Structure 1
Amino acid sequence: MALGLNVDEPETTCDDPNCPFHGTVSVRGGTVDGMVASTEMHRTVIVEREYDVTVPKYDRKMKRRSRTPAHAPDCLDLSVGDAVRIAETRPLSKTKAHVVVGTLDTTRDLGASSLSGPSDPDSEVALDEIESAGGDA
């Protein structure tokens, strides 16, 4: 266990100065669990989390999404769809004030469910059969 959080230190090392494990950046504040929505930027990932908000007028719950840019250290291999834990740190750039501290092995939905395709490959076949039959389901 490293950093005072419930995460393991990665086996690989890196020379990233903004790595919480091998650099000089310290973590503080809270942690957030979410799904990696984008890895297009250099050493930056967009972490998306989904949560429910109560709408008192209709006495219902509504889904909301929050997207947070976070620093991705070189020692962690991240891809779109990974469940990760990010921790607050000092501002690293104009928009980044979080750093990825680990990946999670979870089956619960942390948001970004639209990022992955259908979980069952037969569902695409069934949908194609309905459309080819002329059904307007």
Structure 2
Amino acid sequence: MSEETAETTERPARKVREGTVVSNKMDKTAVVAVVSRVPHAKYNKMILQTTKLHAHDETNDVNIGDKVRLMETRPLSKLKRWRITDVLERAK
């Protein structure tokens, strides 16, 4: 590989998800429920599918009910593969 191709090669964009915090009892970790609409395999009706993702929260500032944006990251622990980038809406 020449130096030009090494400099211009970019890694693929990281996945971004939005969800609601359902648990913040762990230190620097929040569990976020991400709801996605997927078609049913047989009937093609759109159904809601909820996935719980463990996300890194460096400052421990999110609370249950907050809407947050997640970004994919390197594995931080056995379950943590996401990190919280910003809080979109605080819980009331």
Common fold, TM-score beyond 0.5?
Answer: yes
TM-score, normalized by length of structure 1? Answer: 0.52
- Matching residue of 1:49: 34
Change (3 A) 1:89 1:56: closer
1:59 CA displacement: 3.6
The percentage of aligned residue pairs carrying the same residue is 32
Q: Deviations over 1:7-31 (max 9, x none)?
A: xxxxxxxxxxxxxxxxxxxxx6121
Is the aligned partner of 1:102 residue 2:71?
A: no
SS at match of 1:29: coil
Relative to its length, the structure with more strand (as a share) is 2
Relative to its length, the structure with more helix (as a share) is 1
Separation of aligned partners in 2, 1:87 and 1:30: 6
| Aligned pairs (5 A) from 1:4-43 | 29-43=14-28
Paired letter, 1:90? R
Gaps spanning 5+ residues in structure 2: where? 1-12
Gaps spanning 5+ residues in structure 1: where? 1-27, 107-115, 117-137
Give the total of aligned pairs.
79
- Matching residue of 1:63: 48
Is the aligned partner of 1:80 residue 2:64?
A: yes
Paired letter, 1:81? G
Separation of aligned partners in 2, 1:84 and 1:53: 21
Moved over 2 A (4+): 56-59
For the pair shown, which has the larger CA radius of gyration, 1 or 2? 1
Separation of aligned partners in 2, 1:68 and 1:33: 11
SS at match of 1:78: coil
